[in-house]
Structure 1
Amino acid sequence: MTFCPDDLQPKHFLWDFADGVATITLNRPERKNPLTFESYDELRATFWNLDNCRQVKAIVITGAGGNFCSGGDVHEIIGPLTKMDEAGLLRFTRMTGDLVRAMRACPQPIIAAVEGVCAGAGAIIAMSSDLRLASPEAKAAFLFTRVGLSGADMGACAILPRLIGHGRAAELLFTGRSMTADEGFAWGFWNRLTPNVLADAQALARDLAKGPNIAHAVTKKQLDAEWHVSIETAIEMEARAQAHCMQTKDFKRAYEAFAAKQKPEFKGD
C-alpha cells in the first residue's frame, strides 16, 4: 500500500501536513478528547501506514480545546466492555496494545504536545511518543486502578519504569494519582515544559524533519531494540546500524558541507 499525506481523510481526528510534519489532533474537546473503539482503530491504522509515507518526516500528536486526552470514553468503551465475553475483551486489549506497537514501529519521531488532562489511554499515548512537551498546567494520570483495572495496560509496566524509574512508575500505576507537570519534568517524563506547547512541538518537529531522516529512524528503532539485549549485543547492533547510516547520501552531504564550512541540507536518502 502506498500511503501519502493527501490520502488521509480521518473521521475521528484532525490531520494537518506541512513542512514534512504531520499533526494529529484528537478532536472531541467537549469531552476532553476521549477515545472510542473507532478512533483507537483509526489511529492504529494511521501509524502503521506511516511506515510507507516518507514525505512525513516527523509527527506531532495533540488534543483540541486545551486538553490532550481523557482516555477511553466511559459510555462508548467502558460501558460496552462490561458486557463482553473474554474473547471480545482480549480482542479489544490487543487492539489497544497494537496502537502502541504501531507508534513504536513507525520510523518517524513522534512528539506529544500535551495540555490539560492526559489520562488513561491519553497518558499511554504520551508515554509511547518519542518526545513529550507539556504545558505547566498539564496533569498525567495512569488511572486504570480507579476503574478496577491493573496498571498493566498497553505496555505501561514495561515503558513507564524506563522513563521515570520503577518506584515512581509503581506509585503512579498503583494509586492512579495525577502526576503534576513539575513532577513529570523533574522525573524525566516531560522533555520540556512550555506555555506554547503546540507551537514549540511543531517547531521541534520541523527541526527534526530537516535532519537526516534515515538516521532518525535508525535511532528510534535502536532505542526500542536495545531494551532487550546485553551491552555487548547492543554495541554490535549499533556498529551495524551506524555502518548502514554511513552509506547514505546524507552522510556524504554532511561531510561536504562541513568541509565547505556550510550547513548540511539533509534529503533523507
Structure 2
Amino acid sequence: MSDEKTILLDIADGVATITLNRPDRLNSFTAAMHEELRGALAAVREDKSVRCLLLTGAGRGFCAGQDLSDRAVAPGQEAPDLGASIETNYNPLVRSLRELPMPVVCAVNGVAAGAGANIALACDIVLAARSASFIQAFCKIGLIPDSGGTWTLPRLVGHARAMGLAMLGDKVSAEQAEAWGMIWKAVDDDKLAEEAGALARQLATQPTHGLALIKRALNVSLDNDLDTQLDLERDLQREAGRTQDYREGVAAFVAKRAPKFEGR
C-alpha cells in the first residue's frame, strides 16, 4: 500500500489549494481519500489566514468519481450499501464546500465524471481547461446522479438538459458547459493553473465575510419565494453593514484609494 498522500494541501497568500492526488486513477475516490479530504477541509476552516479555497486535480483528470474497485462499494456476493458511502463521504463533502464561509474556486483540469463532476459543480466558481469534460456517468452502471447532481444540474442547465445528461450520460465539453451556464469559464489548458490561481488570490483580497454572505443568499434563492428572499437580504445586509470590511470599503471609496480588506 502506498504512503503517498491522496490529498495535497498548500496554503499561501490567503489561498488554500487542495489537490486531489491519485493521478494514476484519475483521482477517483476511495474511503481513505475521503478521510484525508475531510482533514484538509477542517484545516482550511481552522486557519484564519485562509480567505479562498482552490480545488483541483493532479495529472490528466480532475476526478473520475468513485473508485469502483474500493471494497466499500464494489459489488460482491452481497450488494453493497451505496447509501452508506454517500451518507458518510459524499454528502458531507458537498455540504462542506457549499457552507464554507469563503469563496471556493474549482479548476477542472481534465475529465470530471460521476461524483467528480458534481463535486466540481458544488463549488462557487468553476473554471475548466478546454480539453476538460463533464460526464454524468451514473446511468452507464445503473445508478443515479449523486453528490447533489439531481439538485444542482436542473438549477444550472434547466430540467430538459439535466434529464438528458442524467439519462444519456453524454460528455459535455468545457466550452459547452460554459455556454450552458454550468461553469464560469473555459480557458486554454496551459492557462488554467495561472488563471485559477490569480482568481483565487484576487478573491482572497476581497471582503471575505461579505462574499460568504453572498454565497449564503444565492445558495438558497431558488428555493425561496420573493418575500422570504427579501427578508433574507435585509438580514444579511444588516450583518454585512457591521463588518470592518464595509467600513474600509466606504472609506476607500470616499478617499478614492484602493481598499485594504481584512476579511472581517
Q: Same fold (TM over 0.5)?
A: yes
1:124 alignment partner in structure 2: 118
**Which amino acid in structure 2 is aligned with residue 252 of structure 1?**
R
Percentage identity across paired residues of the two chains: 36
Structure 2 residue corresponding to 1:111, chosen from 82, 85, 105: 105
* Paired AA for residue 177 in structure 1: D
CA distance in 1, matches of 2:223, 2:77: 37
Q: Which one is further off, 167-176 or 33-42? A: 33-42
* Matches of 1:170 and 1:16, distance apart in 2: 38
Report if aligned partners of 2:56, 2:108 keep a CA contact under 8 Å in 1.
yes
What does residue range 10-89 of structure 1 map to in structure 2 within 5 Å?
A: 11-48=5-42, 50-76=44-70, 80=74, 82=76, 88-89=81-82
**Count of matched residue pairs:** 258
CA distance in 1, matches of 2:154, 2:48: 31
Q: Please, which runs of 5 or more residues in structure 1 have no aligned partner?
A: 1-9
RMSD: 1.9
Q: Does 1:228 align with 2:203?
A: no
Once residues 76 and 52 of structure 2 are traced to their aligned partners in structure 1, the CA distance between those partners, rounded to angstroms, is: 38
Deviation at 1:45?
4.4
1:105 and 1:250 mapped to 2: Cα distance?
Answer: 21
Is 1:251 aligned with 2:234? no
- Within 2, Cα distance between the matches of 1:257 and 1:154? 41
Contact 2:16/2:54 (8 A) holds in 1: yes
Asked if the contact 2:72/2:85 (under 8 Å) is kept, the reply is no
CA distance in 2, matches of 1:234, 1:81: 45
Following the alignment from structure 2 to structure 1, what is the Cα–Cα distance between the partners of residues 184 and 104? 13
What is the match of residue 177 of structure 2?
A: 184
TM-score (norm 1): 0.90
Q: 1:77 to 1:207 in 2, by over 3 A?
A: farther
1:28 to partner: Cα distance:
1.3
| Contact map agreement 2:106 2:120 (CA 8 A) in 1 | yes
| Paired AA for residue 100 in structure 1 | V
Q: CA deviation at 1:105?
A: 1.1
Distance 1:20 1:159 in 2: 28
Residue type at the aligned position of 1:192: K
SS at match of 1:228: coil
Amino acid at match of 2:247: K
1:238 partnered with 2:233: yes
Shift of 1:21: 0.4
Partner Cα distance (1:17, 1:188) in 2? 30
Which of 93, 96, 103 is residue 99 of structure 1 equivalent to? 93
Amino acid of the residue matched to residue 93 of structure 1?
I
Matched, 1:144 2:110: no
